[in-house]
Amino acid sequence: MSPNTWSLLDGRVERAKRSWPKIKSVLPVGERVRARVLAAMPFGVFVEIEAQPDALGLVEITTLPRGSELPAVGVYLDAVVVSHASHNWQVRLRPAEVEAGG
């Protein structure tokens, strides 16, 4: 990942840290969201959650359908909030089609 991507994510982590109580309240577990891929890592993709600019979302590779590739940077996903990782201020997401069983 490029240094510019790290810089982008670091800024988002700081914003998420400052806004964490609000983020958790407006993005409860089970909430469906639209998200845009910001960066791809070997373990998953970091996403920007629509209408929640301070939130940092993570879709882990283990939540993707078996054999699928990571979504490309810039791609939009429909996702479902599955948990809140308070230790690093991330909203953990699962693709909506996986949540629906399909």
What's domain 3-99's architecture?
Answer: Beta Barrel (2.40)
For residues 13-18, average pLDDT: 91
CB–CB of 50/35 below 8 Å? yes
Helices and strands (H and E) in the chain: how many: 2, 5
Model pTM score = 0.86
pLDDT of residue 102: 46
pLDDT grade, residue 5 (50/70/90)? low
Residue 99: C-alpha distances to residues 14, 28, 78 (Å): 29, 15, 10
Residue 101 pLDDT more than 90?
A: no
Q: How far apart are CA 62 and CA 24, in angstroms?
A: 22
Domain layout of the chain by residue ranges: 3-99
Residue 4: C-alpha distances to residues 39, 51, 72, 86, 89 (Å): 10, 23, 17, 25, 20
Model pLDDT for residues 54-92, shown as the tens digit of each residue:
999 999 999 998 888 899 999 999 999 999 999 999 999
